[in-house]
Amino acid sequence: MTIGVFDSGAGGLSVVAAIRASLPGQEIVYFADTAFVPYGSRSDGEILDRTRLCCARLLEHDVRALVIACNTATANAIDAVRAWAPVPVIGVEPGLKPGAAATRSGVVGVLATAATLASRRYAELLRRTRAEAPGVRFVEHAAQGWVELVESGEIDTPAARETIRASVAPLLQEGADTLVLGCTHYPFLRSAIEAAAPGVAIVETGPAIARELARRLHIAAGGPAADTDTTAAAPARLRLEASGDVERLAALAARLLPETE
Ligand code: DGL
């Protein structure tokens, strides 16, 4: 049995890395909507339609769970996908709660796409987190050009560092000591982010998604499932599919996930 993982592009591979770390040996089929990436500047309707279509493609593989490894697609489409998908659907949202737990200055910077930050789902997450952590201030920033940097494989060049520094600087000026990476592409820019914000805590959500996936598989299996055995040594097998050029995606995946076969 296979896990289906979806993203607009290569960003969801950061979630694949986390799934491989906690569920070694699990087969993964990954679908990237590379003909339509980036989603962050698209309309709600377009994101909804593309997400439905791509998830339907993954369901053709008889997957036992679907991971929407894209904050933007989760924000706009997870309810619609859950309404018809016959398997558990796990999404990803910016880690505001871990951000609130990590900050000492009381200011958390949230980096995500414009579409994620504008979504009703994000507003609701923010409202809930504020109620639980009233002393924490969240400062959002739509990180222009970051998804494109990852898609072009430009993850730690001088130009990439400059783009990242320009986005991070206003958040540091606001007093942020914690940065939430609210887009699955951004973990691949981590070394440039750390260079732009030395000493700042960085919150990623990949490991939490992998834990939630393991929990849902466990429940669906009605108890311990043999193929979720975390002691297995083999890395998860990964099959790549794309709406655009799959060879290009494979070359990018080999750079982003060096252990990809
Ligand atoms: N990886 C997607 C996310 O987590 C990127 C969105 C995009 O394509 O702009 O939001």
* Mutational pocket test of ligand 1: of 183, 188, 256, the residue with most ligand atoms within 8 Å of the beta carbon: 183
- Residue 173 is predicted with a pLDDT of 98
* CB-ligand 1 contact for 9 (6 Å cutoff): yes
71 CA to centre of ligand 1 in angstroms: 6
Mean pLDDT by 10 residues, the chain (261 residues): 95 97 92 97 95 97 96 97 97 98 98 97 98 98 97 94 97 98 98 97 97 91 55 72 98 89 52
CB proximity list for 95: less than 8 A, separation 6 or greater = 180, 181, 182, 203, 204, 205, 208
Q: 20 to each of 3, 34, 95, 182, 232, how far by Cα in Å? A: 11, 22, 20, 21, 11
* CB-ligand 1 contact for 140 (6 Å cutoff): no
- Residue 82 is predicted with a pLDDT of 98
* CB-ligand 1 contact for 54 (6 Å cutoff): no
With both helix axes pointing from N to C terminus, report the angle between 13-22 and 206-220 in degrees, rounded to the nearest 10.
Answer: 60
User: Taking the alpha carbons of 251, 253, 258, 260 in that order, is the dihedral positive or negative?
Assistant: negative
- Residue 142 is predicted with a pLDDT of 97
User: Taking the alpha carbons of 168, 169, 174, 177 in that order, is the dihedral positive or negative?
Assistant: positive
DSSP string, 172-198: HHTT--EEEE-STTGGGGHHHHHHHST
- Residue 50 is predicted with a pLDDT of 98
- Residue 174 is predicted with a pLDDT of 98
- Residue 261 is predicted with a pLDDT of 52
What count of residues does the chain have? 261
Domains and CATH numbers, the chain: 2-92+206-256 (3.40.50.1860), 96-203 (3.40.50.1860)
- Residue 230 is predicted with a pLDDT of 47
